[in-house]
Amino acid sequence: MAALMCLNAGSTSLKFALYRLEPKPDLTLLCKGQVEGLQQDSPRFEAFDATGKALEANLLLPPHLDASQVLAPVLAWLQAQFPALPLKGVVHRLVQGGDRFNKPAFLNDEALNYLESLSALEPSHQPINVSVARTLMKADPSIPQIGCFDTAFHRHMPEVAQRYAVAPAVHQAGLVHWGFHGISYEYLSHEVKQRWPQARRVIAMHLGGGASVCAMLEGQSQDTSMGFGAITGLPMSTRCGDVPVDGVLYLLRHKHFSLPELEDLLFKQSGLLGLSQISGDMRTLEAQRETHESAQLAIDFFVYALSKYVGAYAAVLGGVDALVFSGGMGEKSALVRAALCRRLAWMGITLDEAANQTHAACISNPSSAIQVLVIPTNEEWMMALDARDLLDAVK
């Protein structure tokens, strides 16, 4: 027996999952968990078994650590829980794979050097993703390190969807429609194929703190709302989504904000938080929408932006067979789902209100022209499956 560990490192959290690789074809989840509150005074560790039951975790962590610094105590805890289960590999989520990595790949020093260079394209997540992989590689070079890339799923989009209307020199400098949330969309594509194989033209929505929409044809990405970086497309929890380039140039040219100030505003103080001035959390906005007009404005704007992308992607696909909600908001906000479906009634969507309130797998009526589905995403499982296939290919 052997295990595979999945790591998803962020600026304030480290998520992990441990899978047993045998017997095939199953990937058996042993446990999953996370450290939250990194870089803060009181980081919090929690872990759960495959049933969701909390595991006893008296793991006290020092303050102000980053994801790479908490690896050692987390690994020690896992080893104590599963002492007879050796690691066959570690798979990392990396946000940006550039034009070199369009599928999962083994990581070595040369690959990590290239991936680190992409931090200029994606400075929010890429540096810590690479740092965690480097830390593990140094700690035990014998364990294979594997990268799964959020951009990879979109590297097979038609060329017109990957380009911007700029001169070749600008394109070659890196101004490319990269697309993100690819591991989540790969999982959603897999689930739709398994459970609703008749759905060829699918519009999937990963709606969490970061949010995006993806048009998929026969399981392949055709277009996606996140573009060059992680703030474009839909408005998000604190990120602005689409804003006019000439407006940004105006604000800088006339020195309304410095570049660092504007970056901070667009990344951390915009989106749902910027519109509402209350919170970037949809649950809070829903709770306060009847007493605060700005909370309702933020919800309305989010649903409006969603409807524009869904309408555009219906045109890209030449029709829609299924609409998929995923991510924290997509899976848990019946209000957002209902509001969007009302806007899309012209497409022949009719909602089963009772199914929507219970977050059922299918929330459309049998008479609906388009199936409306709720699929909880599982990026760790998708990473584990891809990594197992890669490991098996080199046996």
How confident is the model over 123-135, as pLDDT tens digits? 989 999 999 999 9
Half-sphere exposure of 61 (CA within 13 A, CB side): 31
Mean pLDDT of 39-55: 92
Binned at pLDDT 50, 70 and 90, residue 247 comes out as: very high
Catalytic residue among 150, 223, 352, 386: 150
Binned at pLDDT 50, 70 and 90, residue 12 comes out as: confident
Binned at pLDDT 50, 70 and 90, residue 84 comes out as: confident
Mean pLDDT of 228-234: 94
Domain map (residue ranges) of the chain = 3-149, 197-374
- Is it true that 3-149 and 197-374 share their CATH fold? yes
User: How high is the pLDDT of residue 73?
Assistant: 92
Per residue in 100-155, pLDDT tens? 999 999 999 999 999 999 999 999 899 999 999 999 999 999 999 999 999 999 99
- Give yes or no for a cis peptide into 244 (omega within 30° of 0): no
Mean pLDDT of 11-39: 89
Quote the CA–CA distance of 373 and 153 in Å, as a whole number: 21
- Asked: is 3-149 a CATH 3.30.420.40 domain? The reply is yes
Q: What does pLDDT average to over the chain?
A: 95
Quote the CA–CA distance of 21 and 6 in Å, as a whole number: 12
239's tokens: 């990120």
User: How high is the pLDDT of residue 28?
Assistant: 92
List, in order, residues 6 or more apart from 57 with CB less than 8 Å away.
33, 45, 46, 47, 77
- Asked: is 197-374 a CATH 3.30.420.40 domain? The reply is yes
150 tagged catalytic: yes
User: How high is the pLDDT of residue 345?
Assistant: 98
Binned at pLDDT 50, 70 and 90, residue 58 comes out as: confident
User: How high is the pLDDT of residue 156?
Assistant: 93
374's tokens: 């709720």
User: How high is the pLDDT of residue 147?
Assistant: 98
User: How high is the pLDDT of residue 394?
Assistant: 87
Per residue in 355-368, pLDDT tens? 999 999 999 999 99
pLDDT surpassing 80 at residue 57: no
Per residue in 281-309, pLDDT tens? 999 999 999 999 999 999 999 999 999 99
Amino acid at 372: V
Mean pLDDT of 49-76: 90
Percent of the residues in the chain that have a pLDDT greater than 90, as a whole number? 89
Per residue in 320-357, pLDDT tens? 999 999 999 999 999 999 999 999 999 999 999 999 99
pLDDT surpassing 80 at residue 46: yes
User: How high is the pLDDT of residue 320?
Assistant: 98
> What's the angle, vertex CA 234, arms to CA 254 and CA 343, rounded to 5?
125
The pTM assigned to this predicted structure is 0.95
pLDDT surpassing 90 at residue 158: yes
Mean pLDDT of 195-215: 97
User: How high is the pLDDT of residue 40?
Assistant: 87
